[in-house]
Amino acid sequence: MNVLGIETSCDETGVALYSTERGLLAHTLYSQIEVHREYGGVVPELASRDHVRKTLPLVQEVLNQASFRSSDVDAVAYTAGPGLVGALMVGATMARSLALGWGVPALGVHHMEGHLLAPMLEEERPEFPFVALLVSGGHTQLVRVDGIGEYRLLGESLDDAAGEAFDKAAKMLGLPYPGGPQIARIAEDGSTDRFTFPRPMIKHPGLDFSFSGLKTHTLTTVRELEEQGPLSDQDKADIARAFEEAVVSTLVIKCRRALEQEGLSRLVMAGGVSANRNLRQQLASILAKRGAEVFYPAPQFCTDNGAMIAYAGAQRLAAGQVDGAEVQVRPRWPM
Query: Where along the sequence are the contacts to ligand KG4 (CB under 6 A)?
Result: 10, 136-138, 163-164, 166-167, 178-181, 184, 271-273, 275-276, 303-304
- When the beta carbons of 98 and 270 are compared against ligand KG4, the nearer one is 270
Which of Zn ion, ligand KG4, none has residue 160 at its interface (CB below 5 to 8 Å by kind)? none
Q: Amino acid letter at 143?
A: V
- When the beta carbons of 102 and 295 are compared against ligand KG4, the nearer one is 295
136 makes contact with Zn ion (CB under 5 A) = yes
Residue 282: alpha-carbon gap to chain centroid: 19
Least distance (Å) between residue 134 CB and Zn ion: 9
Q: Is 135 annotated as a binding residue?
A: yes
Q: Amino acid letter at 40?
A: G
Q: How far apart are CA 11 and CA 116, in angstroms?
A: 19
Q: Is 138 annotated as a binding residue?
A: yes
What single DSSP character describes residue 221?
H
- When the beta carbons of 10 and 255 are compared against ligand KG4, the nearer one is 10
The answer to whether the beta carbons of residues 160 and 143 sit under 8 Å apart is no
Which of ligand KG4, Zn ion, none has residue 5 at its interface (CB below 5 to 8 Å by kind)? none
List binders of Zn ion among 105-124 (CB under 5 A). none
List binders of Zn ion among 158-197 (CB under 5 A). none
Q: Is 276 annotated as a binding residue?
A: yes
Least distance (Å) between residue 227 CB and ligand KG4: 28
Least distance (Å) between residue 258 CB and ligand KG4: 20
List CB contacts of 221: < 8 A, sequence separation 6 or more: 195, 197, 239, 242
Q: Is 167 annotated as a binding residue?
A: yes
Least distance (Å) between residue 303 CB and ligand KG4: 3
Least distance (Å) between residue 51 CB and Zn ion: 15
The answer to whether the beta carbons of residues 146 and 129 sit under 8 Å apart is yes
Q: How far apart are CA 186 and CA 175, in angstroms?
A: 10
Contact residue for Zn ion among 7, 167, 238, 304 (CB under 5 A): 304
List CB contacts of 57: < 8 A, sequence separation 6 or more: none
- When the beta carbons of 50 and 164 are compared against ligand KG4, the nearer one is 164
The answer to whether the beta carbons of residues 107 and 327 sit under 8 Å apart is no
For CA atoms 289, 293, 299, 305, give the dihedral sign.
Answer: negative
Name the H helices within the chain. Answer: 33-37, 44-65, 85-102, 111-117, 162-172, 179-187, 212-226, 233-262, 277-289, 306-318
Q: Is 83 annotated as a binding residue?
A: no
Binding-site annotation: residue ranges for Fe cation: 111, 115, 304
| Residues in the annotated binding site | 111, 115, 134-138, 167, 180, 276, 304
Chain contacts with Zn ion (rule: CB under 5 A) = 136, 304
